[in-house]
Amino acid sequence: MKIFILSRNSNLYSTSRIVEAGRDRGHMVRVIDYMRCFMNITAKKPAVYYGGESLQKADAIIPRIGASNTFYGTAVVRQFETMNCFCVNPSISISNSRDKLRSMQILAEAGINMPVTGFASHTKDIEGVIESVGSTPLVMKLLQGTQGQGIVLAETRKAAESVMSAFRQLDADIMVQEYIKESSGTDIRAFVIGNRVVAAMKRVAPEGEFRSNLHRGASVEKITLTSEENQVAIRAAKILGLTIAGVDLMRSNRGPLILEVNSSPGLQGIESCTKTDVASQMITFIERKS
């Protein structure tokens, strides 16, 4: 099989692991910097060019699109789709998962349980959106934030109003979410491939920090999901149309709550924590689908 990995850096752990796993199984695997691609958009013979070379149809495309390059990256994925290439995550699914508000609306419409969430544009509606979410403390998130950046815990109502007012004056889109006290500083990453969770880990924030992101020093441990957690993770990925996804969830008194679904989940943390060869399982899945 010929497999293209759309990634900006072949030396990244996740990218290099997928390359290694694919070549170990005898496939031709090539890393393509999608920001260096340009496209010939035509009805007769759509094409993607890379360094002046016209890329021939691949058996599978693995998009590893960075959050800051979503617009152009998904355009390149769409172009491969018009060439009838199998993309493990479709362009529309990547776009929807990257838009935190849109992804939550899609999941909520499908009946997926999440923390109570509010969103408003006008500063005059600050009190109303805070009231709709519930009592403080509240978690406030910038829609464009990644890896724990742009997330603030407002301990009091006055603090929540001040934070939201400040963000709105900067013309920043912000979501307000209820704070799940019983799961403070911990969440779960479930790595979904196809119709099953292949690995899962619990992330625990360092003392004094409520964000459990690895980039902020969180510790990790292997975890076995409950049947309900397993099913909701698979369902959330499927609803967004992702066949490979990192699903973040929280344990609460009312069951598992979905926080986010990531279309380009990292492999380093989950592979080292669980000792699972996730990269090879991705290749095996592609072999069955292509």
What angle do helix axes 227-239 and 100-109 make, rounded to 10 degrees?
120
Among left, alpha and beta (phi > 0; psi -120 to 50; other), residue 31 is beta
> CA-CA distance, 201 to 191, in Å (whole number)?
9
What pLDDT does 180 receive?
A: 84
Among the listed residues 63, 289, 108, 100, the one whose alpha carbon sits nearest the alpha carbon of residue 195: 289
- Predicted TM-score (pTM) of this structure: 0.86
Kindly report the CATH number that applies to the domain delimited by 97-112+182-289: 3.30.470.20
Task: Please provide residue 17's backbone torsions phi and psi, each rounded to the nearest 5 degrees.
Answer: -70, -40
Task: Quote the pLDDT of residue 217.
Answer: 60
53: Cβ–Cβ under 8 A, 6 or more apart, which residues?
none
For each of the chain's 290 residues, which pLDDT tens digit applies?
Answer: 999 999 999 999 999 999 999 999 999 999 999 999 998 887 678 899 998 899 988 999 999 999 889 999 999 999 999 999 999 999 999 999 998 889 999 999 999 999 988 886 655 666 677 777 777 788 877 766 555 567 788 877 778 777 777 766 666 677 788 888 877 778 999 999 999 999 999 988 776 555 555 555 678 899 999 999 999 999 999 999 999 999 999 999 999 999 999 999 999 999 999 999 999 999 999 999 86
Largest CA distance in the chain: 60
Distance CA 233, CA 196 (A): 9
Backbone φ and ψ of 13, nearest 5°: -55, -50
Q: In what order do the strands lie in the sheet with 174-178?
A: 117-119, 174-178, 138-142, 151-154
Q: What is the pLDDT of residue 16?
A: 97
96 vs 72, 121, 194, 225, 248, CA distance in Å? 14, 20, 18, 26, 16
Is 3.40.50.300 the CATH classification of the domain at 2-89? no
| Closest alpha carbon to 55 in 123, 125, 129, 5 | 5
From CA 183, how far away is CA 149, in angstroms rounded?
19
Omega of the bond leading into 137 within 30 degrees of 0 (cis): yes
Q: Which class in CATH covers the domain with range 117-179? A: alpha beta
Q: How many CB atoms lie within 10 A of CB 158?
A: 10
Domain boundaries, the chain: 2-89, 97-112+182-289, 117-179
| Confidence (pLDDT) at 113 | 95
